[in-house]
Amino acid sequence: MHDYIKERTIKIGEYIVETKKTVRVIAKEFGVSKSTVHKDLTERLPELNPEMAVQVKKILDYHKEIRHLRGGEATKRKYQMKIQPESSQPVQPSQ
């Protein structure tokens, strides 16, 4: 494994542990694909730093558990914006 890949893997691992951000957000911030981030975290990190890999796995598992909730919220926002397309103000969710 090349040194730059090892460095990137460790940096991404530390970053996800600190921020708890999603793979998609991290990929955008690091300028790599989601597949690369996922491979770094699930395949390469356990070889380089097993302790950090355990922490990262917990975060990834949590994100997987709640992804249906995030998707539902995104769909809700999408359709609330479409209710009144003539209005210059987006429709705010009622609480």
Rounded distance between C-alpha atoms, residue 84 and residue 92, angstroms: 11
Q: What is the DSSP string of 2-23?
A: -HHHHHHHHHHHHHHHHH---H
In order along its 95 residues, the chain shows pLDDT tens digits of 899 999 999 999 999 999 999 999 999 999 999 999 999 999 999 999 999 999 999 999 999 998 888 888 888 888 888 775 555 666 566 65
Rounded distance between C-alpha atoms, residue 58 and residue 53, angstroms: 9
Cβ neighbours for 10, distance < 8 A, ≥ 6 positions apart: 45, 48, 49, 52
Q: Is the pTM of this model over 0.85?
A: no
